[in-house]
Amino acid sequence: MDRLLFPGFSLIEAGQLYARRFEERSRNLALDFAQSRALLVLAENEGVTQQRLSELTAIASPWLVRILDRLEVMGLTQRRPNLADRRARSLGITEDAREVLPLLWNIVGESLREALRGLSTKETAILAKALHRVIANLSAPDRLVTPQLVTSRGEMFANFQMEKQRL
């Protein structure tokens, strides 16, 4: 079966393979992909609330709570009182986390180099732009979901090919 028929599945497969390879590299740090992502984004945005970190990482709030709990037990993050809002907590990283961050960034770099091996600089830029567009399209709060009537896989493939050529 032609993978072009299902580009959404290819996106999922690429993400899963990337996460798996990342976790193979981060195993010695005892951090999984989601924990690493949360820690890296938090390091760049210290003082944010849990809600804001959830938005920045695209990790659902209930999952993020568990991730932050684990990172806190590991001594990598901390929750502090939020001076602007007594109901909220500000998130921060610890000195131990600051020592782990360079190792994590190396893992990010190695994983990315492996994933993009064989792509030119131009192809990498096109891929990055296309992925940002896909994410923006799917993240838009006012997106309209319009059902498309597709009578066959062949018609769906033809529509996809025409759209691809248009871009």
Q: Are 111 and 22 in contact (CB under 8 A)?
A: yes
- Model pTM greater than 0.95? no
Higher pLDDT, 5 or 132: 132
pLDDT digits (tens, 9 = 90+) for 27-62: 999 999 999 999 999 999 999 999 999 999 999 999
- CB neighbour list of residue 18: distance below 8 Å, 6 or more residues apart: 111, 115
To the nearest 5 percent, what fractions of the chain are helix, strand and coil?
Answer: 70, 5, 25
Is the backbone of residue 117 left (phi > 0), alpha (psi -120 to 50) or beta? beta
Q: Are 160 and 7 in contact (CB under 8 A)?
A: yes
pLDDT digits (tens, 9 = 90+) for 1-35: 555 557 888 889 999 999 999 999 999 999 999 99
Cβ neighbours, 10 Å, residue 32? 16
